[in-house]
Structure 1
Amino acid sequence: MPPYEEIAAPADLHADCQAVSRRLQEAAVKATRPAPSFHYDERPRETPKRDIEISEAAQRLANALHLHLD
Protein backbone atom coordinates (compact mmCIF):
# COMPACT_ATOMS: atom_id res chain seq x y z
CA MET A 1 0.00 0.00 0.00
CA PRO A 2 1.41 3.45 -0.89
CA PRO A 3 2.14 5.89 1.94
CA TYR A 4 -0.58 8.20 0.65
CA GLU A 5 -4.17 7.39 -0.16
CA GLU A 6 -3.76 8.59 -3.73
CA ILE A 7 -0.65 9.11 -5.78
CA ALA A 8 -0.72 12.18 -8.03
CA ALA A 9 -0.31 11.91 -11.76
CA PRO A 10 3.28 12.02 -13.02
CA ALA A 11 2.59 15.35 -14.74
CA ASP A 12 1.48 16.84 -11.41
CA LEU A 13 4.55 15.47 -9.64
CA HIS A 14 6.79 16.90 -12.36
CA ALA A 15 5.12 20.32 -12.06
CA ASP A 16 5.66 20.21 -8.29
CA CYS A 17 9.35 19.41 -8.78
CA GLN A 18 9.74 22.31 -11.21
CA ALA A 19 8.06 24.69 -8.76
CA VAL A 20 10.37 23.54 -5.96
CA SER A 21 13.38 23.97 -8.23
CA ARG A 22 12.36 27.54 -9.07
CA ARG A 23 11.88 28.37 -5.38
CA LEU A 24 15.28 26.91 -4.50
CA GLN A 25 16.95 28.94 -7.25
CA GLU A 26 15.27 32.13 -5.98
CA ALA A 27 16.37 31.33 -2.43
CA ALA A 28 19.94 30.73 -3.60
CA VAL A 29 20.00 34.12 -5.34
CA LYS A 30 18.66 35.86 -2.24
CA ALA A 31 21.09 34.02 0.04
CA THR A 32 24.12 35.15 -1.98
CA ARG A 33 23.21 38.85 -2.02
CA PRO A 34 25.44 41.06 0.11
CA ALA A 35 24.07 42.04 3.50
CA PRO A 36 22.82 45.62 3.93
CA SER A 37 25.38 47.99 5.35
CA PHE A 38 25.24 49.01 8.98
CA HIS A 39 27.78 51.81 8.65
CA TYR A 40 26.45 55.17 9.82
CA ASP A 41 27.80 57.12 6.83
CA GLU A 42 25.90 54.88 4.40
CA ARG A 43 22.52 55.43 6.02
CA PRO A 44 20.12 58.17 4.87
CA ARG A 45 20.58 61.38 6.83
CA GLU A 46 16.98 62.52 7.02
CA THR A 47 13.95 60.31 7.05
CA PRO A 48 10.63 62.08 6.64
CA LYS A 49 8.16 61.71 9.48
CA ARG A 50 4.61 60.70 8.77
CA ASP A 51 1.90 63.24 9.45
CA ILE A 52 -0.62 62.06 11.99
CA GLU A 53 -4.10 63.36 11.44
CA ILE A 54 -6.67 63.26 14.21
CA SER A 55 -10.19 63.08 12.93
CA GLU A 56 -12.98 65.11 14.44
CA ALA A 57 -14.66 61.95 15.74
CA ALA A 58 -11.43 60.83 17.45
CA GLN A 59 -11.01 64.24 19.01
CA ARG A 60 -14.59 64.21 20.35
CA LEU A 61 -14.03 60.74 21.81
CA ALA A 62 -10.71 61.79 23.38
CA ASN A 63 -12.33 64.92 24.84
CA ALA A 64 -15.13 62.80 26.27
CA LEU A 65 -12.48 60.64 27.93
CA HIS A 66 -10.66 63.82 29.06
CA LEU A 67 -7.56 63.00 26.94
CA HIS A 68 -7.56 66.40 25.17
CA LEU A 69 -5.84 65.71 21.85
CA ASP A 70 -5.67 69.35 20.76
Structure 2
Amino acid sequence: MSRQTPASHLTHAELAPSVELAADCHVVGHNLRLPSPARARVAAAPSLRFEDYPSEVGKREIAISDAAARLANALHLHLD
Protein backbone atom coordinates (compact mmCIF):
# COMPACT_ATOMS: atom_id res chain seq x y z
CA MET A 1 0.00 0.00 0.00
CA SER A 2 1.56 3.31 -1.08
CA ARG A 3 1.33 6.30 1.19
CA GLN A 4 1.21 9.82 -0.30
CA THR A 5 3.35 12.60 1.09
CA PRO A 6 1.42 15.67 2.27
CA ALA A 7 1.95 18.73 0.08
CA SER A 8 3.76 20.58 2.90
CA HIS A 9 6.51 17.94 2.92
CA LEU A 10 7.30 17.83 -0.79
CA THR A 11 10.87 18.30 -1.92
CA HIS A 12 11.83 20.46 -4.88
CA ALA A 13 11.99 17.37 -7.09
CA GLU A 14 8.37 16.50 -6.28
CA LEU A 15 6.98 19.97 -6.94
CA ALA A 16 5.47 21.14 -10.21
CA PRO A 17 7.79 22.25 -13.03
CA SER A 18 9.27 25.74 -12.61
CA VAL A 19 7.26 27.08 -15.56
CA GLU A 20 4.06 26.06 -13.79
CA LEU A 21 5.25 27.55 -10.48
CA ALA A 22 6.15 30.83 -12.21
CA ALA A 23 2.71 30.97 -13.83
CA ASP A 24 1.12 30.45 -10.40
CA CYS A 25 3.19 33.33 -8.99
CA HIS A 26 2.07 35.65 -11.80
CA VAL A 27 -1.59 34.80 -11.13
CA VAL A 28 -1.18 35.42 -7.40
CA GLY A 29 0.57 38.74 -8.08
CA HIS A 30 -2.21 39.78 -10.46
CA ASN A 31 -4.91 38.85 -7.94
CA LEU A 32 -3.12 40.78 -5.18
CA ARG A 33 -2.71 43.74 -7.57
CA LEU A 34 1.07 43.73 -7.15
CA PRO A 35 3.17 45.66 -9.68
CA SER A 36 4.41 43.49 -12.50
CA PRO A 37 8.05 42.34 -12.17
CA ALA A 38 8.97 44.20 -15.37
CA ARG A 39 7.58 47.47 -14.01
CA ALA A 40 9.20 46.94 -10.62
CA ARG A 41 12.64 46.51 -12.22
CA VAL A 42 12.51 49.84 -14.05
CA ALA A 43 11.31 51.86 -11.07
CA ALA A 44 13.79 54.51 -9.99
CA ALA A 45 15.89 53.83 -6.92
CA PRO A 46 15.42 56.14 -3.95
CA SER A 47 17.65 59.17 -3.91
CA LEU A 48 20.91 59.13 -2.00
CA ARG A 49 21.40 62.88 -2.28
CA PHE A 50 21.52 64.82 0.98
CA GLU A 51 19.46 67.67 -0.51
CA ASP A 52 16.47 65.38 -1.13
CA TYR A 53 15.80 64.85 2.56
CA PRO A 54 14.59 67.37 5.12
CA SER A 55 17.30 68.72 7.38
CA GLU A 56 15.26 68.51 10.56
CA VAL A 57 12.62 65.98 11.49
CA GLY A 58 10.75 66.37 14.74
CA LYS A 59 10.40 63.50 17.15
CA ARG A 60 7.01 61.87 17.55
CA GLU A 61 5.15 62.20 20.81
CA ILE A 62 4.23 58.90 22.39
CA ALA A 63 1.19 58.88 24.65
CA ILE A 64 1.15 56.32 27.43
CA SER A 65 -2.29 55.49 28.73
CA ASP A 66 -2.97 55.07 32.44
CA ALA A 67 -3.66 51.36 31.89
CA ALA A 68 -0.31 50.89 30.14
CA ALA A 69 1.48 52.77 32.92
CA ARG A 70 -0.16 50.59 35.61
CA LEU A 71 0.78 47.45 33.70
CA ALA A 72 4.37 48.65 33.25
CA ASN A 73 4.62 49.50 36.94
CA ALA A 74 3.27 46.08 37.87
CA LEU A 75 5.98 44.52 35.69
CA HIS A 76 8.58 46.89 37.19
CA LEU A 77 9.17 48.62 33.84
CA HIS A 78 9.89 52.33 33.74
CA LEU A 79 8.01 54.37 31.11
CA ASP A 80 9.47 57.84 31.63
| TM-score interval, normalised by the smaller of the two chains | 0.3 to 0.5
Q: Which is richer in helix?
A: 1
